[in-house]
């Protein structure tokens, strides 16, 4: 997230029913806004949309960075994933995690919801885009969604942490692991479901509910301090239509047209290139560290060999040993002499031999 985006995340929270006062600082958050989220999806009132609403996905393994802003756990990705929806190409930038679900289906809420943000501008949220939501409920401890979440969920900050922290994930870590087998979905033109509630977002909600382990749910709750980070369900605006695409699989021919890249504005080009380089560095940082450590180890071995060779050639070790032996012999000789003198002194009543000689000499003179 850029510093400009972070400024908009400083004066609000989900705590103490404060969602009702968001409109004080963010006009777009008013309950009578023309576009709003989240909504309850009443399946008896949806409009069918198939060919004109095809979804194409081109996701690839990516990197992972985590942060916590306004009690929203956020995962940021490198720009390796794209979608095509209604002839619009968008980059996946980030994902937010919510306890419980933001959306409801037929008034039923779920244990958790992850929201994946796809932007026309791969470096900013300002142009809006498409949010793909996956609703989750407690289930088995295995499965691809668990495999995906388990690689970073224990690294989520438990306090506000706007600075992204890199998390090491596997080379095949791919956000598509979150998606259900059935690709049928609902969608509507709405808004960001929290401040600044910008109204240039389309929300796409998969119909199938994904299982997630209770352990992961509890870990997310712990990171959130037990709070729910959701906005209450909003009344559907009069002009809002919720569409339904019942295709259970993505059309291969449609999916194939999702490109690996798209043209972006020149103003965002430099930032995008920098982002790609940062992503490459994040993805390969452990390889780089390994190479550096390997080089240092080889250098240490080389220096050790050269030092050993120098010691052998100049007979340094042998000379050192000889000097130590001589020093030891000298010390032992001195100790033996001192012991002998001490013993002789004891034999003469504590008088040293030299003193005895002096005494004898004095006696003869008298």
Task: Report the pLDDT value the prediction gives residue 345, as an integer from 0 to 100.
Answer: 72
Yes or no: say if 90 and 83 are a contact pair by the CB < 8 Å rule.
Answer: yes
CA 72 to each of CA 114, 193, 201, 327: distance values in angstroms, whole numbers, following the listed order: 11, 12, 18, 72
Task: Report the pLDDT value the prediction gives residue 187, as an integer from 0 to 100.
Answer: 97
Task: Report the pLDDT value the prediction gives residue 138, as an integer from 0 to 100.
Answer: 98
Q: Judging by beta carbons within 10 Å of its beta carbon (0-12, 13-18, 19+), is residue 296 exposed, middle or buried?
A: exposed
Q: Is the pLDDT of residue 309 over 60?
A: yes
Q: How many Cα neighbours within 13 Å face the side chain of 88? A: 16
Yes or no: say if 52 and 86 are a contact pair by the CB < 8 Å rule.
Answer: yes
Three-state DSSP at 78 gives coil
Task: Report the pLDDT value the prediction gives residue 1, as an integer from 0 to 100.
Answer: 42
Q: Is the pLDDT of residue 357 over 50?
A: yes
133-154 as b/e, with b when 16 or more CB fall inside 10 Å? bbbbbebeeeeebbebbebbbe
More confident residue, 30 or 329: 30
pLDDT band at 8 (very low <50, low <70, confident <90, very high): very low
Alpha-carbon gap, residue 114 to 212, rounded angstroms: 11
Q: Tens digit of pLDDT for each residue in 204-213?
A: 999 999 999 9
316-334 as b/e, with b when 16 or more CB fall inside 10 Å? eeeeeeeeeeeeeeeeeee
Task: Report the pLDDT value the prediction gives residue 316, as an integer from 0 to 100.
Answer: 80
pTM score above 0.85:
no
CA 361 to each of CA 50, 167, 348: distance values in angstroms, whole numbers, following the listed order: 131, 93, 16
φ, ψ dihedrals at 65, nearest 5°: -130, 140
Task: Please count the residues of the chain.
Answer: 366
Q: Tens digit of pLDDT for each residue in 46-68?
A: 999 988 898 999 999 999 999 99
Alpha-carbon gap, residue 111 to 212, rounded angstroms: 9
Task: Report the pLDDT value the prediction gives residue 101, as an integer from 0 to 100.
Answer: 98
DSSP 192-247: -SSTT--S-EEEEEESSPEEEEHHHHHHHHHHTTT----PPPBPPPTT---EEE--
Q: Tens digit of pLDDT for each residue in 117-158?
A: 999 877 777 789 999 999 999 999 999 999 999 999 999 998
Helix or strand (DSSP H, E) at 136: strand 129-139
The strand pair at 210-213 and 129-139 is best described as parallel
pLDDT band at 277 (very low <50, low <70, confident <90, very high): low
Q: Judging by beta carbons within 10 Å of its beta carbon (0-12, 13-18, 19+), is residue 295 exposed, middle or buried?
A: exposed
pLDDT band at 6 (very low <50, low <70, confident <90, very high): very low
Yes or no: say if 86 and 116 are a contact pair by the CB < 8 Å rule.
Answer: no
Structure tokens at 88: 């619009």
Domains of the chain: 17-260 (3.10.200.10), 263-338 (no CATH)
Q: Tens digit of pLDDT for each residue in 163-202?
A: 899 999 999 999 999 999 999 999 999 999 999 999 999 9
Rounded (5°) CA angle 163-119-232: 75
Yes or no: say if 53 and 254 are a contact pair by the CB < 8 Å rule.
Answer: no
């Amino acid at each position: 997230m850029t510093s400009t985006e972070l400024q908009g995340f400083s004066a609000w929270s989900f705590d103490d029913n404060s969602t009702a006062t968001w409109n004080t600082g963010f006009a777009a958050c008013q309950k009578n806004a023309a576009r709003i989220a989240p909504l309850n999806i009443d399946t008896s009132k949806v409009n069918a949309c198939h060919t004109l609403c095809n979804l194409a996905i081109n996701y690839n393994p990516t990197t992972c960075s985590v942060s916590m802003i306004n009690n929203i756990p956020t995962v940021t990705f490198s720009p390796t994933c794209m979608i095509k929806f209604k002839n619009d190409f968008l980059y996946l930038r980030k994902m937010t995690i919510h306890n419980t679900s933001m959306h409801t289906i037929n008034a039923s809420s779920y244990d958790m919801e992850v929201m994946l943000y796809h932007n026309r501008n791969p470096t900013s949220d300002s142009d809006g885009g498409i949010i793909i939501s996956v609703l989750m409920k407690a289930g088995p401890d295995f499965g691809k969604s668990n495999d995906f979440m388990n690689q970073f969920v224990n690294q989520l900050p438990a306090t506000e942490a706007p600075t992204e922290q890199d998390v090491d994930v596997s080379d095949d870590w791919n956000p598509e692991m979150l998606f259900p087998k059935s690709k049928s979905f609902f969608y509507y033109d709405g808004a960001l479901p929290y401040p600044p509630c910008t109204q240039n977002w389309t929300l796409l909600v998969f119909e199938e509910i994904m299982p997630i382990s209770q352990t992961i749910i509890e870990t997310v709750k712990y990171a959130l301090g037990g709070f729910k980070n959701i906005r209450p369900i909003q009344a559907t605006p009069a002009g809002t239509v919720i569409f339904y695409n019942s295709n259970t699989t993505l059309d291969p021919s449609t999916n194939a047209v999702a490109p690996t890249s798209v043209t972006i504005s020149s103003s965002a080009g430099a930032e995008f290139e920098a982002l790609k380089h940062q992503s490459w560095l994040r993805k390969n940082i452990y390889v780089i560290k390994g190479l550096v450590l390997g080089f240092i180890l080889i250098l240490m071995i080389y220096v050790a060999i050269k030092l050993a060779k120098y010691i052998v050639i100049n007979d340094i070790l042998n000379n050192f040993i000889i000097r130590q032996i001589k020093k030891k012999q000298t010390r032992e000789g001195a100790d033996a002499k001192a012991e002998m003198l001490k013993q002789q002194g004891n034999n003469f009543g504590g008088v040293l031999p030299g003193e005895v000689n002096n005494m004898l000499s004095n006696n003869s003179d008298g």
